Amino acid sequence: MDLLNFMYSNTLSRTTSAAVLDVLMAADKFEVMSCIRYCSRMLGLMPMTCESALLYLDLPSNILTLDAIQPLVDTAKLFLATHYRDITKFADELLNLPLAGIEAVLSSDDLQMPSEDVVFEFVLKWARIHYPKIEDRKDVLEARLGRLIRFPYMSSRKLKKVLTCNDFHPDFASNVVLEALFYKAETPYRQRSLAAQDAGTTYSRLVERAYKLRHVKVVEFALPRPRCVVYLDLKKEECAQFFPNARIYSQAFPLGEQWFFLSARCNMDQQNASHCFGLFLAVQFKGSVSLHVDYEFAARSKSTEEYISRCKGDYTFTAGKAVGYRNLFGIPWTAFIADDSHFFIKGLLHLRAELTIRQ
């Protein structure tokens, strides 16, 4: 009756989302496109909740593909992605979401989590809960959820786990790991070019998310001594957000049998009592182990575009200890972040750390 009344009056008396959704279903059944568009607009103007967003995403596939419904579907996906942006904070709620809701959240470029490794582990946990049969789980991971994991931004130790994980079809696991390794091997310029081409596609696997732990590129050497060269790039806008006392951490990277990480921060220069840019190195091991390491920090200069050493030294690491320089560039924060700064090249700060373990 609501549909018939609409066909004569072009209005609806129903005002709740559930009632309007019922009319939309009836309008689809009888192919009344004008009513479908009207209901979609009405629902889009109503306050969105997690429950209503999931309800819209659970509509039959023949309705979800209609052009008139796409603005409502996009709004529902954006709402869920924004609401659950920090997946570590809402982990328990997210584990109870249906497949359509999880896909909406994991499709977002703005997810906040320590690293893509966390996304990988979360997806496995969710899939094991909702798809207890191994074959069903393999199928949904390959066809749906696996496409939303950004494997090129996972650590090498997690990529090794992908290859041995029974939850994936072997061919799918091999393909995504190879794609990730080839991407990691590209030059930074080529990586940015590939990511730009991938942006806006249905599965943006090459676009970097808003990770709490920043991605690094690592080159390892085994001989004559365990050694690695680590590259960390930071955007100028994220460096500006460090002021007055914030910091970021890099993803952990291996050297020998230990895992290290970098920390960039804004801190006070104790000599000049002014803010400045600092860079520090720490190790993740626990217990009474000690490790002697030679290290060198370098940064690219705008004038030469070459890496120039800023400091070097050696340090014996024990649990909970870090080494670094509170004022890496020897200048105040205002000069470091200024428009004419010598250290930002096309909006990027390029840092390099070289580590060698002493035998």
Query: What residue spans define the domains of the chain?
Result: 1-83, 109-198, 213-357
Tell me the chain's radius of gyration from C-alpha atoms: 25
Q: Is the pLDDT of residue 271 over 80?
A: no
Buried b (16+ CB within 10 A) or exposed e, 210-219: ebebbbbbbe
* Nearest Cα to Cα of residue 275 among 326, 233, 238, 310: 326
Q: Show the tokens assigned to 131.
A: 């798809």
Q: Which are the contacts of 351, defined by CB distance < 8 A and separation ≥ 6?
A: 231, 232, 233, 234, 262, 264, 279, 297, 298, 299
Give the per-residue pLDDT at 150: 93
Give the per-residue pLDDT at 306: 92
Computed from CA positions of residues 256, 258, 264, 269, in that sequence, does the dihedral angle turn out positive or negative? Answer: negative
Q: Is the pLDDT of residue 345 over 70?
A: yes
Distance CA(97)–CA(259), nearest Å, equals 34
Read off the pLDDT of residues 15-49 as tens digits, 9 standing for 90 and up: 788 888 888 888 888 888 888 888 888 888 889 99
Give the per-residue pLDDT at 31: 84
Q: Is the pLDDT of residue 359 over 80?
A: no
Give the per-residue pLDDT at 288: 64
Q: Is the pLDDT of residue 166 over 90?
A: yes
Q: Cβ distance 85 to 112 under 8 Å?
A: yes
Read off the pLDDT of residues 194-231 as tens digits, 9 standing for 90 and up: 888 877 676 778 888 878 888 888 888 888 888 999 99
Tell me how far CA of residue 327 lies from CA of 105, 268, 297, in angstroms.
39, 8, 12
Q: Is the pLDDT of residue 286 over 70?
A: no
Give the per-residue pLDDT at 84: 93
Identify the band that residue 127 occupies on the pLDDT scale cut at 50, 70 and 90: very high
Q: Is the pLDDT of residue 240 over 80?
A: yes
Q: What percent of the chain has pLDDT over 70?
A: 98
End-to-end CA distance of the chain: 84
Q: Cβ distance 247 to 279 under 8 Å?
A: no
Report the topology of domain 213-357: 2.60.210
Strand partners, 280: 263, 324
Tell me how far CA of residue 80 lies from CA of 73, 105, 318, in angstroms.
11, 6, 43
Q: Is the pLDDT of residue 131 over 90?
A: yes
Q: Show the tokens assigned to 173.
A: 């696991």
Q: Is the pLDDT of residue 58 over 80?
A: yes
DSSP state of 112: B
Q: Show the tokens assigned to 29.
A: 């059944």
Q: What is the mean pLDDT of residues 115-122?
A: 92
Identify the band that residue 83 occupies on the pLDDT scale cut at 50, 70 and 90: very high
Instruction: Decide: pTM greater than 0.85.
Output: no
